[in-house]
Chains A and B, each alone.
Chain A
Amino acid sequence: MENQGTILALLTALIPWPPFIAFGLISLFANRWKRLSHTLAIGSVAISFVLSQVVFWSALRIEHLGEHPIAARIPWLPVGARPLEFGVLVDPLGAVMLFMVPLVSLMIFIYSVGYMAGDPHYSRFFALLSLFEAAMLLLVVADNLLMLFIGWEVMGFCSYALIGFWYRKPSAYRAAVKAFMTTRVGDVLMLLGIAYLYAQTGTLNFHDILRNPETLKTLAETPSYVAGLSVAALASLLLFAGTVGKSAQFPLHVWLPDAMEGPTPVSAMIHAATMVSAGVYTTIRMFPLLQAGQHGLGGETAFWVVALIGAFTAFMAATMGVAQNDIKRVLAYSTISQLGYMLAAVGIGAYVAAAFHLITHAFFKALLFLGSGSVIHAMEHGHHHAGHGHGHEEPFDPNDMLQMGGLARRMPVTFWTFLAGGLALAGFPLITAGFWSKDEILGEAFHGAFEKGELLPLLVFLLLAAAAVLTGFYTMRQIALTFLGEPRSPAAAHAAESPASMTMPLIILALFAVLGGYVGVPEGFPVLGALFGRNWFHEFVGGTLLEHPKAPPFNAVPVVLSSLIALSGLALGGLVYARRPLAAGEPDPLVRLGPVHTFLRNRWYIDDLYHHVFVRPTLWLAERAVAFFVDRVVIDGFLHGVADAVWSMGGALRLFDRVVVNGIGDGIGEAVKAAGRELRALQTGLVQNYLLVVVLGVLGFIVLYTVAPMLRGF
């Protein structure tokens, strides 16, 4: 048993490696061969997929997985008293992520082969996608916040590189920079949170912090001296800031719609399986910390922040999504909105519901993105077929839903799978996965609001219900504009179904989008509850927590209510768009809403606000203040000052050198030379002169020794 656990931990540790190795191989060796590139990428993800499946199904068989997770760790970096550790952890939450992430990614990789065919940078695409996948898998199997953060940041880089994949398009590289800069705001705060937590507890291991009641209690009771919060609350809020950036929540949501500039499989990858899920996953993962803060200092502040940001984002993004005409942008806003749902669920303590929605959403959102990619692909080819693309006509946007229409007949597989995804997104009752997960969130909010009478769940419930109506509306609008009615452009009229490498993943994902919800049917649900027995997902994932969360007692009211909400949204959308499909050139009926439509279409002017409040002052500061004052005056001034000082010091030294050092050296030489010049006159070369001196000398001595004593004697 022990032995088996070790083997499983080893297998888990291997999961992130194949895509990482594939990344290296593709970038180094395979970047000329397209077929080899995608074979390596898909093969590596397939290996990871198989490994994850083995780990997942083995994990299911372990009793009390939450208490005895598959885990192993090794010391990695010795700092301070305790080394930072690397390790893997598969608890129930990790296990379901391990099931979902590689599966969805594999579908996206296979799909990319069809979608990216013919792109000149095909290999770069697969290399980056593999690295992205490796980072996500690292994040999922990580057993500590540091490893999680490493995966997190690598993904941040990959998303930057992939959003700006078509870097020759100015909008693409701007979007890439925007995404990177915006998420950076959250990431910095998150890193602060990680450092803070490490400073307080001395460990970053999930199991050590989150399943240790004493640590949690200490953290909850220690004041952080910031806004009256406990350490637990402050740390979870800082970590949550990372999620706000990564999962594109208000106020850092602006990057995600622009991220649609990347290739569609990237959108699916970022917005379904990986990056945005990573944000929510982290918040769900750190839920016990948030919960611990509840009973400590500062009370429920952290919960309020998380829930309100989530619920408000869910509502706001849904309203923005209503007025978009770009097929991918609608999905982007729906993603932001659905992520808001999950965080709102975390904020009201509906831990399992949040995880459930995370999983189902990943399936149907990947499906929707890939479906929209299929549509865009078809529109581009249709445009080509219709004899365009030779200049002389107005610019053609394959993403514009007003140019589409009538694609249901031309692309049946895409249509039916997209329909399944759309209904799951809207939460169509009973037969879609989205219904079950969304219903669980609304049910928990309803339970808190009306049966316990708390204020926060009531607010959350109202905002989420409004968002749900809007979700139904824009989903129907999207489906109707894209697939129903008559083609509104030659491109749409000439569109054709995408190749099998693209439709097969759609079908597989559609199955999950429809059936995936049945793992979490509430026990008390009429007929179906009895059919499926206990609520498997709740039982399983709930085990991650120290204290098994209780599912609220089954109540028919919220179920009926959420069904009605979803149906009313869909019906409203159908009423406006499907009953009488739009003709070519006809404006969107929503335009009649006037200023409201303009407001929504311009995304509440938040982007413009940021542009004026942050971007332009920053640019101004950069150009005027930093470039001119700091760079030219301070830095250049300092450098020139140093240069001048050194220059004059050099001058002084040169003077010293010339006058003193050279003076002495030359002086000695010159003196000897001058002496020689004077003395050479003595050496006449005439022997008689010398002899004369000798004679005079002798005479001198004679005088000295004979005459002088005689003179002295007188």
Chain B
Amino acid sequence: MIPLTWYLLVAAALFCIGVYGVLARRNAIAILMAIELMLNAVNLSLVSFWRYLHPDRMVGQAFALFVLVVAAAEAAAGLALIISIYRNRETVDVENIDLLRG
């Protein structure tokens, strides 16, 4: 059986890719996608911990389902915002979206 550590390493790698994507991508859509990556990395580690540590309790699955629901809501709200920004500014490049600059 594949040990837990491998799963966790994959999840950590996924998460780091997500973080990199959020911080480094200029396209707002890409950033949303990177956030999805981070969420799914968390889901993966949640499910792994459940399967390996407490297979008799449903807590890990339940959390993963919650995260999926929240991620769906997040994607809906985020896309709506991005569309709205695009309509106003005709761009989704976050380098140009700096209205709150001091």
Check if A685 sits within 8 Å of B23, measured CB to CB: no
A681 within 8 A of B: yes
Is there contact, CB below 8 Å, between B95 and A686? yes
**B23 cross-chain contacts in A, Cβ below 8 A:** 688, 691-692, 695
Bound together, the chains give a CA A684 to CA B100 distance in angstroms of: 7
Contact B94 A688 (CB under 8 A): yes
> Which parts of A679-697 form the interface with B (CB within 8 Å)?
679-688, 691-692, 695
How far is the CB of A241 from the nearest CB of chain B, in Å? Answer: 94
CB of B3 within 8 Å of the partner chain: no
Neighbouring B residues of A683 by C-beta, 8 Å: 100-102
The reply to whether the CB of B12 lies closer than 8 angstroms to some CB of chain A is no
Contact B94 A682 (CB under 8 A): no
- Take A692-B23, A695-B23 as given contacts and tell me if A686 and B102 are in contact as well, using a CB distance cutoff of 8 Å: no
Per-residue CB contact flags for chain A residues 17-56 toward chain B (1 = under 8 Å, else 0) read 0000000000000000000000000000000000000000
Shortest distance in angstroms between A134's beta carbon and chain B's nearest beta carbon?
Answer: 90
A194 nearest CB across to chain B (Å): 89
Q: CB within 8 Å of A: which of B48-102?
A: 94-95, 97-102
Closest A residue, CB atoms, query B95: A686
The answer to whether B101 touches A684, judged by C-beta atoms less than 8 angstroms apart, is yes
- Which residues of B lie under 8 Å from residue A691 when comparing CB positions? 22-23
- Please provide the chain B residues from 23 to 66 with a CB less than 8 Å away from any CB of chain A in the complex: 23-24, 31
Q: What band does the interface of chain B fall in when counting residues whose beta carbon is under 8 Å from A?
A: 10 to 19
Given contacts A687-B94, A688-B94, contact A682 B102 (CB under 8 A): yes
A-side interface mostly? helix
- B19 located at the interface, meaning its Cβ lies under 8 Å from any Cβ of chain A in the complex: yes
Residues on A with beta carbons closer than 8 Å to the beta carbon of B98: 684-686
> Which chain A residues border B97 with CB–CB below 8 Å?
685-687
Q: How far is the CB of A684 from chain B (nearest CB, A)?
A: 6
Q: How far is the CB of A699 from chain B (nearest CB, A)?
A: 10
CA distance A490 to B31 in the complex (A): 133
Report the minimum CB–CB distance from A683 to chain B (whole Å). 3
Q: Are B22 and A686 in contact (CB under 8 A)?
A: no
Given A688-B23, A691-B23, A679 and B94 touching (CB < 8 A)? no
Measured CB to CB, the closest approach of chain B to A254, in angstroms, equals 96
A692 CB contacts on chain B under 8 angstroms: 23
Query: Are the C-beta atoms of A685 and B99 separated by less than 8 Å?
Result: yes
A664-685 Cβ-contact flags toward B at 8 Å (1 or 0): 0000000000000001111111
Cα-based distance from A684 to B94 in the complex (angstroms): 12
CB distance from A219 to the nearest CB of B (A): 100
Q: Can you list 21 A-B contacts with CB-CB less than 8 angstroms, sorted by A residue number?
A: A680-B102, A683-B100, A683-B101, A683-B102, A684-B98, A684-B101, A685-B97, A685-B99, A685-B102, A686-B97, A686-B98, A686-B101, A687-B94, A688-B22, A688-B23, A688-B24, A688-B31, A688-B94, A691-B22, A692-B23, A695-B23
